[in-house]
Structure formats: C-alpha cells, structure tokens
Amino acid sequence: MTGFLSGLILFIGVHSISIVAPGWRDRTVDRIGLRVWQAIYATIALVGLILIIRGYADLRGQTAYLYALPRWVHGISSVLMLPVFPLLLAAYLPGMVKTAARHPMLVAVKLWAVAHLLANGTVTDVILFGSILAWAVADRISLKRRPERKTPGGKPGQWNDLIVVIGGLMIYSLMIQFGHRLLIGMPLVVR
C-alpha cells in the first residue's frame, strides 16, 4: 500500500501545484525555464503513475469491498467511458468539442473516475478513483480564479472535431480489446 499511496501523492501532488501555488509555479518556470519545469514535472508524474499502476496491481484482490453494484451498472460505466478519449484528444485539437467542454481534459478525467468507481468497489479502487475525481473537481474550481494558460496542441482546424471523435472512439475500441490488459494487467470486461 505504501508504494501505491506514494504514487498517488506524487502524481496528484505535482498536478496540484497550479491549484495550491500558481504564483510559485509561475515564478519557478520564469527562473528555471519552461522546458526544465516540464521535464521535472513529467518525471515526477511518470514516477507517480508507475507507482500507482504497480501498487494497484499488487493490491488487486487484497483489499476489502466497500460496495458491489449490480452488474448492469457496468454498462453505464462503459457508456460513460465513450466520450473520454475523444475529450482527451479535444484538449489538444481545438474545435467545437473543446469549446463546448471548456476543459475537456478535466471532463474526461471526471467521467473516467466516475465510470471506474461504478465498476469497482474495493478500498483500493475508492482511494484511487475517488482521489483523482476529487482532484479533477478541485482543479476545475481553481481554474475560475487563476489565469488561463495556453494549452499546447494543434491549431484550430475544420477537421479537428472529426479527428477527435473518430480517433477517440478508435482508441477506446483498442483499449477495450487490448489496451486495458496490456497497460493495467486486467482484461476489460464489458457487460
């Protein structure tokens, strides 16, 4: 559990710097440069993510169930996951989808977390998906009081929305068929 929780602290912690200390983040970027900041940030996030995935795999089946929802709820989880990958792509390919969602990455993270909370009810699941959901809500609220930063990505284009929808659904399909098992170590069971 130590590695799992350490990973969550690192991953959510580095992603929370702009929430709790946006001025410090901006001063640090000015001092060390954006590329160095991004390298440090990415390294901490990657180490955290690796610890989360390894810890989650180690804890799978070892923690108690807090709840078990009816099987038909898994279908709701699958439907909630449908827009997740298109929204992730929309964060970097500006178009109508990004405009409508305003913050498509955060919407995607919230949908992902809720879908996984509906499908999984162990202590480990609630810690993982619940903490990431709480972070996404806090980040969205904090965006209202901090200056908006330019998101890296493509330029607005007439094909971006088509790419976002088709590409996102293709990624979701691959995740269902192969990706979940390869990345997480568990085959995805769509009921």
pLDDT in tens, 102-153: 899 999 999 999 999 998 899 999 999 999 999 999 999 999 888 777 777 7
pLDDT band at 189 (very low <50, low <70, confident <90, very high): low
Clarify whether residues 132 and 50 are in a common domain. Answer: no
Domains in the chain, number: 2
Clarify whether residues 34 and 96 are in a common domain. Answer: no
Q: Which residue has the tokens 């955290």?
A: 48
Domain boundary among 43, 59, 75: 59
Clarify whether residues 5 and 82 are in a common domain. Answer: no
Which residues are CB-contacts of 187 (< 8 A; sequence separation ≥ 6)? 180, 181
Clarify whether residues 99 and 155 are in a common domain. Answer: yes
Clarify whether residues 76 and 33 are in a common domain. Answer: no
Domain boundary among 59, 75, 104: 59
C-alpha distances in Å from residue 44, one per residue of 78, 138, 166? 30, 20, 32
36-48: per-residue pLDDT in tens?
999 999 999 999 9
Whole-angstrom Cα distance, residue 34 to residue 36? 6
Q: Domain containing 188: what range?
A: 65-191
Clarify whether residues 133 and 116 are in a common domain. Answer: yes
Clarify whether residues 72 and 129 are in a common domain. Answer: yes
∠44-45-46 over CA atoms, to 5°?
Answer: 90
Q: Is-contact 50 3, C-beta < 8 A?
A: no
Domain boundary among 42, 59, 76: 59
Which residues are CB-contacts of 189 (< 8 A; sequence separation ≥ 6)? 74
49-73: per-residue pLDDT in tens?
999 999 998 898 788 999 989 988 8
Whole-angstrom Cα distance, residue 150 to residue 168? 22
Clarify whether residues 181 and 107 are in a common domain. Answer: yes
Clarify whether residues 79 and 105 are in a common domain. Answer: yes
Q: Which residue has the tokens 């390298």?
A: 39
